[in-house]
Amino acid sequence: MNHSVSTDLPESLPPSTVGYWVVCVPLRPRSWLHLDPGLYAASIDGIPDARGLGISPDRAIEKLQRRLTQIRSERIAQGAGLPPAHSRLTPPKRLQNQIGWMSVFVAVEAGND
């Protein structure tokens, strides 16, 4: 089974593309804004066990992508699929108090969901 995940720009994806918005935030106290945050956390709203930590946003998102592929395989083996996909045209709302917040649409290859 091939369960690939891509991070193409949402506008460049076909309309039928299934995927999720990943939110990535730096992990640091607000009082340390002038310092390098050190770690970033990536997560998907609606899939609590899909998380990734990394020393950069790219690494956190890569770890989350691998975890999402693993979760999808596990759920397919159990006869279930992933939760309903997010709309690629409506990203999550900006986190009001979080400096350095970003979101990325992660496409999931359509399969046996």
pLDDT of residue 2: 39
Apex 80 CA angle, 75 and 84, nearest 5: 100
Residue 61, sorted as left (phi over 0), alpha (psi -120 to 50) or beta, turns out to be: alpha
pLDDT of residue 91: 81
Rg (CA), the chain: 15
DSSP 3-state assignment of 110? coil
Cβ 78 vs Cβ 70: under 8 Å? no
**pTM of the full predicted structure?**
0.73
Statement: 5-108 belongs to CATH 3.40.630.10 = no
DSSP 3-state assignment of 10? helix
> pLDDT (tens digit, 0 to 9) for every residue of the chain, 113 residues total?
334 444 455 555 565 578 899 999 888 655 555 555 578 999 998 899 999 999 889 999 999 999 999 999 999 999 988 888 888 888 887 665 677 788 889 888 765 54
Residue ranges of domains in the chain: 5-108
